[in-house]
Amino acid sequence: MDKTILHIDLDTFYVSVERKINRELQNRPLLVGGTGDRGVVAACSYETRGFGVHSGMPMKMARELCPEAVVIRGNAGTYSKESDIVTEIVREQVPLFEKSSIDEFYADLTGMDKFFGAYKYATEMRQKIIRETGLPISFGLSVNKVVSKVATNEAKPNNQLKIDYGLEKSFLAPLSIKKIPMVGDKTYQTLRNLGLRQVRTIQEMPIDVMQRVLGKNGGVIWKRANGIDNTPVIPFCERKSISTERTFSKDTIDVEKLKGILIAMTENLAYQLRRGEKLTACIAVKIRYSDFNTYSKQLRIPYTSADHILIPKILEMFKTLYNRRLLVRLVGIRFSHLVSGNYQINLFDDTEEVLNLYHAMDTIRKRYGDKSVLRASGLGAKTIGRMHNPFNGQPPVVLAHRRQ
């Protein structure tokens, strides 16, 4: 059976939420992100894009390009709440959906044309979201996720587009190669150097040519350019989680040791989130004492995968749980309410240097192992001395924990 896949995208989500809160911001150029000169643009309104502004660029540069723009420090908690409202509406309307990020969803509407009409149903759901949230939203509808996502981007702002079965290649052909999901700046420049500008040029090329130029990714890009994608919609499940725990060979009351272990555990789980392009919205700490009584505490937080945001919260929860008069047998941490997404650190609090630091740390970990980069606060002096050394006799990179 031919699939019918819906892609939903909340247009300029952070900007739209800020305009919902303050109507005076309507139609004004708006930047959301770190407000200092070293901050980063998390989102920008359409009015700023004509000046060359885009998300992820330094806020100082964005201000220089568009000096009349209003700059707002984002509130991740507010955005998470708005995202949850939309999620509940989608959950009520469709039997199978995937939350791919804080502001994007996929839904499988296969078979609905026999009973109601997938496009009509998607239209009514979009209108319901707009009516109940006050947020603009666009969607694309086609036979697969890739074409639907491209269709959504072409429909923006605040519109919708259906690509009928069999017209996928002709729809994609005149578009820029940069419109293909997975074609980033570096790949785009490589393809442009080969004289490729439009998707139709890739469609006319043999797949093995793309593979010679870009390796395995070249084959994937060729298939996407031809409208071929069999990626399934992955059911969204808020109970999905990752966790870790440590049982001590000898019960301990050493607070600094316990904190160091919690920091190291949090750091490792956060890296796993970033490696899997996931974000968590709920964290939990567990303590088991020597008498086997077990206590836990959980906290809902804005979506994140950043160590330096998660660690202080974990330590704060530990402080409220810990009874200093009892020996501890086990400590554990769990991250749940996971969603896919690339908002890997808090763009409203952090600078371009922090973004680059996380990228560098994770690059080292991918090459040399999860424990090749560690915070000093997550290690004791004896532990550092005993560590396995992956750097050809050089000591491991140890980062001092930045106090908030």
Give the tens place of pLDDT for each residue, 302-360.
888 888 889 999 999 999 999 778 899 899 999 998 877 654 445 555 556 666 666 67
Sorted by where each begins, the domain ranges of the chain are 1-162, 166-236, 242-399
Q: At what angle do helices 255-275 and 307-321 cross, to 10 degrees?
A: 140
CATH number given to 1-162? 3.30.70.270
Q: At what angle do helices 13-21 and 76-93 cross, to 10 degrees?
A: 100
Which one is catalytic: 82, 98, 104, 168?
A: 104
Three-class SS of residue 73? coil
User: Which two structure tokens, joined as six digits, stand for 33?
Assistant: 């992100």
- At 23 the pLDDT is 93
- At 165 the pLDDT is 92
Distance CA 306, CA 351 (A): 13
Cis, peptide link before residue 232, omega less than 30° from 0: no
**Residues 129-184: tens digit of each pLDDT:** 999 999 999 999 999 999 999 999 999 999 999 999 999 999 999 999 999 998 98
The stretches in the chain having pLDDT less than 70 are: 1, 37-38, 237-239, 341-359, 361-362, 364-404
Distance CA 345, CA 111 (A): 39
104: annotated active-site residue: yes
E-assigned strand segments in 36-189:
41-44, 70-72, 97-101, 104-108, 137-142, 160-162
Distance CA 129, CA 89 (A): 7
Q: Which CATH code of 3.20.190.10, 1.10.3720.10, 1.10.150.20, 3.90.1150.10 fits the domain covering 166-236?
A: 1.10.150.20
Q: Is 9 annotated as a binding residue?
A: yes
Q: Is 350 annotated as a binding residue?
A: no
User: Residue 71 pairs with which residues in a beta bridge?
Assistant: 31
Q: Dihedral, CA atoms, 288, 289, 293, 296, nearest 10 degrees?
A: -40
Say which DSSP state 401 is in.
P
- At 366 the pLDDT is 63
Domains 166-236 and 242-399 fall in the same CATH topology:
no
Distance from CA of residue 221 to its chain's centroid? 22
Q: With CA atoms as reference, report the closest residue to 11 among 111, 189, 140.
A: 140
Distance from CA of residue 262 to its chain's centroid? 24
- At 388 the pLDDT is 35
Domain 242-399 fold is Dna Ligase; domain 1 (3.30.1490)
- At 278 the pLDDT is 83
Phi-psi region of 30 (alpha: psi -120 to 50; beta: other; left: phi over 0): beta
E-assigned strand segments in 19-74:
30-33, 41-44, 70-72
